[in-house]
Chain A
Amino acid sequence: MLSELRTMWEVLKHTFTKAETVEYPEQMPYLAPRYRGRIVLTRDPDGEERCVACNLCAAACPVDCIALQKDTREDGTWYPEFFRINFSRCIMCGMCEEACPTYAIQLTPDFEMCEYDRQNMVYEKEHLLINGVGKYPDYNFYRVSGMQTASKDKGEALNEERPIDTRSLLP
């Protein structure tokens, strides 16, 4: 009995406390910079697509919402011919971002993607691609990797040694 009365008194005291509610559409809640929301594809500092269509994100995705197809440019670099994320399946787990070797796929603090038509939740590459570098402003995969392209030979990448001519090592 006493505990019930005490409960009622404690509840009554809440008459004068402020509501915790964040009135969402007018008042945005704070989203941390690393909040996992809508997925984007970023570009490198030179404005080229970072994605090299390695398929690691699609393999890591626990709900299989990513589909892409590799293609090769004339200079030998890889890019996705199409890149499709089905956001009606996506659970915003961020595993694609962890798997990505080129920082191409990144999650952003944006969750407002409601649609009346389910088909509109399927984002193609032109919807995903942004004109920015995202969280890693200086990173360019083809400049640091040893992969040979038309503009860059073996050993010309950043911090890369020249390839060793094995024949010069012969006695």
Chain B
Amino acid sequence: MAELLPVILALTILVSGVAGAAILTWFERRLLGVWQDRYGPNRLGPLGIGQVLADMIKLLFKDDWIPPFSDRVVFIFAPTAIVVAMMMGFAVVPFAPQMMIIDVNIGLLFFLGMTSLAVYSVLLGGLASNNKYALLGGLRSAAQMVSYEVFMGLSLMGVVMITGSFSLVDIVEAQADIWFCFTQILGLFVFVIAGIAESHRLPFDLPEAEHELTAGFHTEYGGMKFAMFMLGEYLGLMLISCMIVTLFFGGWHSPISLGDGLPPFFWFSFKTFVVICFFVLLRAAIPRPRYDQLMSLGWKVMLPITLVNILITGAVLLWMEGAV
């Protein structure tokens, strides 16, 4: 039975991940509506939740068209890559004590690696489409994701230094007393921004940038292949939110001296939900920067902040150990 648990959990994550991403499309539209003083989809079913089903049916029955001028194999491979990579990323997320698929001692690195693999999806999708808009989108995403990858990893080094481990379970347990969002505030700031850029959501959705590039890298995609890209994007959003909660907001720990009777999984999912709402708020509020602004923000602001963060964290750690 104990060996079966990860398998059951993996299947649960697969199903709930896909369902969650589908519901998230509806939830995001409703929430954007709230903040933009309108309703959003509210016709089908209670609160418009039937919209999810309607969208799925529509996408399933669309013509699964592969452009004759495209690179066929890569074109089909690209949308699957992002979904597989994001799903793999969930393998190391500790939802609650004992409630994770695998607790590897390099969990954090595994997560970073998996999110990095998602760039292939966007890049190959843009390349294989043989379309100038798609190519530009793929080009942008390659530059954006590779450069934001650098300090996404570096911003987490502070957390790793304090914990002394790459294992996500150890990181969560190290936050039993104080969450890293207080001690690693710079790291949190950089990681959130890098996370948005990594999952290329608004305001950093330059690979798509519908005003300039029609739909960016998925211009030529339709039907279920397009749905796979969307699924991957929303999975990425959920994964980044899970990781922010795990790394900076205490994972399954409940806020100090409050509601101890609630299960750890509740706290984890509640915090993740709040972070997702925050991402939607970013989308509702912040306009998209220009491409060069994005790159200069990354290299000229984010990277120095990260390095300063590592410096301060290291210095404080050494000082507390009494080494200096």
Contact = CB atoms under 8 A, between A and B. Distances in A.
Given A7-B286, A8-B286, A14 B36 contact: yes
A20 B40 CA distance: 11
Interface residues of B, number: 12
B110 interface: no
B298 to A, nearest CB: 15
Interface in A17-31: 17-21, 23
Interface SS of chain B: helix, strand, loop or mixed?
helix
B285 A20 contact: no
Contact of B285 (A11, A15, A17, A21): A11
A74 interface: no
B39 interface: yes
Contact of B281 (A11, A21, A23): A11
B35 A12 contact: yes
A8 B282 contact: yes
A26 to B, nearest CB: 11
Interface of B: 33-39, 281-282, 284-286
Interface of A: 4, 7-8, 10-12, 14-15, 17-21, 23
24 contacts: A4-B286, A7-B285, A8-B282, A8-B285, A8-B286, A10-B285, A11-B35, A11-B281, A11-B284, A12-B35, A12-B281, A12-B285, A14-B34, A14-B35, A14-B36, A14-B37, A15-B34, A15-B35, A17-B37, A19-B33, A19-B34, A19-B38, A21-B38, A21-B39
Given A15-B34, A19-B34, 16 more contacts: A7-B285, A7-B286, A8-B285, A11-B284, A11-B285, A12-B35, A12-B281, A12-B285, A14-B34, A14-B35, A14-B36, A19-B33, A19-B37, A20-B37, A20-B38, A23-B39
